[in-house]
Amino acid sequence: MACRDNEELQRFVEEAKKVAKDGKVASYIPALAKADQTDLSVAVYHVSNTCHSAGDVDKRFTLQSISKVLALAFVLSEEGPKKVFQFVGQEPTGDPFNSMIKLETASPNKPLNPMINAGALAVTSLIRGATPQDQLNRLIGFIRELANDKSITYCKETAASEFETSMINRAMCYYMKQYHIIRGNVEEVMDVYTKQCAIMMNSLDLAKIACVFSLDGRHPETGKQILSKDVARICKTFMVTCGMYNASGEFAINIGIPAKSGVSGGIMGAAPYDFGIGIFGPALDEKGNSIAGIKLLELMSEKYEMSIF
C-alpha cells in the first residue's frame, strides 16, 4: 500500500529534502551539473488510475539510466528474450554502472545485465530501424505510449553534452564490437543511446509508466495491454536485482519494490498490482541514487508496507 494523502506526501518530501545537502548532483555529464540540488518531487500513481503527488511535479528531468528499463522492454517485445539474452546476461555485477572490468573477466564476454551501461548499450544497438533517427523515433513512440503522453521528447542539450564527453561508454562499445556483441556503427549506437538517456519527463509521467509495470503491462489509464506480462516480469526482476546500482541488495531489504534509478536523480518504482512511483531529486548519494529520493521511500515504507518480500 502507498500514501493516498497529498498532505502527508508533502510532509515526507519536506523531511526527506533535509538530506539533499549531503548529496551531490552528477557532473560527469556537464549538462546535469546545472540541476538544483534541493529539488524533490514525487508522484504515486495507483492502479485504480488515481494519483497523489507532492513537490514540483511539473518539473521535467532526463531519464538517464531509467531509460534502460524502457529500452529493454521495447527490445524484448520486438525480439523476444531468447535473442536479447544472446547479447546481454541476467546477473547482477556488484560494480558501478559504468564499470567495464567484468566485460573482460566474465565469460562469455557479453555484459552481465541490461541495467549497467555496457548491457544497455548492447540493448540499444538491437533497436530496429533503418537509421539512428528511426531507432530513436521508434523508442520515443513506445515511451509516449507507456506514458500516454504524445509530447514526450528528449533534451538536445543533455544528449549532446553526454555524446561529446562519454568516452568510457564509447570504449565499452568498441570492446563489445570486437566480440560481435555490438554489430552496428559505434558512433550511431552512441548517438541513439545518449538521446535515449536524455528523454525527458516529469515525475507524474514516470509514476504512470511505472504503474504499467505494476499492472503486468496494462496501462492504468487506457486499459491497453502495452507490454506482455512476460516482458513486464523480466523488467521488474532486473529492477529488483540490479536497478539501484550496487545498492540494489540494500534497497531490496529496506524498501522492497522493483525500482530503477538514474544519475539525473530520478527513481521509478513499481509495486505490483498496487502503484507506480516517480521521484525526482537530483542530489545523489555515493552509489549514484537520489539521496533524498531514497530517504523519501524509507519514510514511506516506515509508514506503509511496501515491500513485496
Comparison of 92 and 288: residue with beta carbon closer to ligand GLU: 288
Comparison of 89 and 217: residue with beta carbon closer to ligand GLU: 89
Comparison of 162 and 274: residue with beta carbon closer to ligand GLU: 162
- Sign of the dihedral through C-alpha 158, 161, 166, 170: positive
* Structure letter (DSSP) for residue 32: G
The region that residue 226 occupies, defined by phi over 0 for left and psi between -120 and 50 for alpha, beta otherwise, is: alpha
Q: Which residues line the annotated binding site for substrate?
A: 65, 117, 162, 169, 193, 245, 263
**Residue indicated by cell numbers 528499463:** 69
**How many positions of this chain bind ligand GLU (CB under 6 A)?**
11
CB 294 within 8 A of CB 12: no
Using rule CB under 6 A, residue 97 touches ligand GLU: yes
Using rule CB under 6 A, residue 191 touches ligand GLU: no
Just list the catalytic residues: 65, 68, 193, 245, 263
Q: Strand locations in the chain, DSSP E? A: 41-46, 51-54, 61-62, 200-201, 259-261, 266-271, 275-280
Binding positions for ligand GLU, 108-127, rule CB under 6 A = 117
* Among the listed residues 243, 262, 269, 281, the single contact to ligand GLU using CB under 6 A: 262
Binding mask 216-255 for ligand GLU (x = CB under 6 A): ----------------------------------------
Using rule CB under 6 A, residue 162 touches ligand GLU: yes
Q: Measured from the CB of residue 3, what is the shortest distance to ligand GLU in angstroms?
A: 26
CB 236 within 8 A of CB 209: no
Comparison of 122 and 299: residue with beta carbon closer to ligand GLU: 122
Residues 70, 205: Cα–Cα separation, whole Å: 13
Using rule CB under 6 A, residue 280 touches ligand GLU: no
Comparison of 81 and 94: residue with beta carbon closer to ligand GLU: 94
* Among the listed residues 65, 135, 214, 246, the single contact to ligand GLU using CB under 6 A: 65
Using rule CB under 6 A, residue 293 touches ligand GLU: no
Q: How many CA atoms lie within 13 A of 153 on its CB side?
A: 5
The 3-state DSSP class for residue 269 equals: strand
Q: Which three cell numbers stand for residue 217?
A: 503491462
The 3-state DSSP class for residue 90 equals: coil
Q: For binding to ligand GLU (CB under 6 A), which residues are involved?
A: 64-65, 97-98, 117, 162, 169, 197, 262-263, 288
